[in-house]
Amino acid sequence: MSTGPSQAEIPAGVTLPIYMDNHATTPLDPRVLEAMMPYLTTKFGNAASRNHSFGWEAEQAVDAAREQVAKLIGATAKEIIFTSGATESDNLALKGIAEMYRERGNHIITQVTEHKAVLDTCKRLEKSGCRVTYLPVKADGTIDLEDLRRAIDDKTILVSIMAANNEIGVLQPVREIGKICHERGVLFHTDAVQAVGKVPLNVIDDCVDVASISAHKIYGPKGVGALYVRRRNPRVQIAAQIDGGGHERGMRSGTLNVPGIVGLGKACELAQENLLQEASRTQCLRDRLKTKLEAELDYVHVNGSMEHRLPGNLNMSFVYVEGESLLMGINDVAVSSGSACTSATLEPSYVLKALGLGDDVAHSSIRFGLGRFNTEAEVDYVAAKVIQVVRHLRELSPLYEMVKDGVDLTKVQWAAH
């Protein structure tokens, strides 16, 4: 009787546990921490204090960070509004535009695979009288641009489509979407959290009017983000959702998180300096992992487009294996499964369901998120460990055995409970 998989060899230079969940959060880059430290200690001023050097110093640091963030996305410093993170940025964009433009219309278009920060905000807006269209996605995870064209009507004020999906890493055709919106006089918001710093994004060339950014997805600190708000052609107006003091051009009041903002700025600067090299390196690691898994395992497939995809994302289904069981088997590797992504339930991911995957395939999926600090040795260890655990779990699976014996599971008459 099998007693379970034997331990995979731990290669030299690999320390367990291994972190491969970089879409959930990234480790803080030591250079970012170094930039932040003075503002956590001796340079502790409030950026809104205009009467002394402590305040001026903080304000200068915030201004420098605004430039760094703007530069990464091709914006100007005055178009960057600092927030507490991507969820707040998404809320501010959607609610702020819906409120400001309600005389013009009440129709918003988004897609079914958006992050919950956009979907739940849309649900809230529907309760207050907005009409929301949720576009389907094709089997590769991208939207059909013709669906978007058809959905726009004379009451449409906003289209919100994410640049890169947080689960399957699929890149939407942002520039084409932006052009369609601008042709029709509709504002375009993109949740650019997973894309910024990983793939090139230029808000002018891509016709983006509003974009959400988060520091902790690009090796910066948690609890700080930004919203890009276009100032010309067209000038975008957003109604504040937090009042009190008129900070951030009146769009977002509250004492600025100076150390966090400095960290976000530094993270953006580092991302810009190394964007193409880092994307190429991460993609090589991702492809190495994919090749090794596909070479040793049958009934595995990648979810979402491989062509239009974040360099560090691999979302893969290991059919006839429960994702949760696989996670438990590889408990020295931090990854996430295709179920329980957004809650404590074991519902399969709504993103994978939207691609048309059955529950069984969706339940068997694992998201690997490779990043700046992962190494080839780690990839090799993770591949070996996953292969070992999948084989072991399939040994215990009657379904896998039946399929190997040539049984068509779709034709099996299962006895009722």
Q: Show Cβ contacts of residue 17 under 8 Å, excluding neighbours closer than 6 positions.
A: 331, 332, 333, 334
| Cα–Cα dist 238/243, whole Å | 13
In sequence order, the β-bridge partners of residue 227 are 81, 212
| Cα–Cα dist 101/188, whole Å | 13
3-state secondary structure of 352: helix
What's the sign of the alpha-carbon dihedral 117, 123, 124, 126? positive
| Cα–Cα dist 93/89, whole Å | 6
| Cα–Cα dist 265/64, whole Å | 8
DSSP category for residue 337: E
Strand boundaries in 84-155, DSSP class E:
107-111, 131-135
Structure tokens at 136: 């389907």
| Cα–Cα dist 272/414, whole Å | 56
| Cα–Cα dist 24/206, whole Å | 26
Catalytic entry in 122, 130, 268, 341: 341
In sequence order, the β-bridge partners of residue 132 are 108
Residue 4's region, left for phi above 0, alpha for psi from -120 to 50, else beta, is left
Integer angstrom CA distances of residue 358 from 139, 298, 303, 350, 399: 12, 18, 12, 11, 15
DSSP symbols for 326-379 = HHHHTTTEE-EESBSSSSSS-PBPHHHHHTT--HHHHHTEEEEE--TT--HHHH
Question: Is 207 in the active site?
Answer: no
**Other CB atoms within 10 A of residue 142 CB:** 20
Residue that is written with structure tokens 């890493």 in the block: 169
**Amino acid letter, residue 308:** H
- Residue 268: which of 32, 30, 20 has the closest Cα? 32
Which amino acids are annotated catalytic? 341
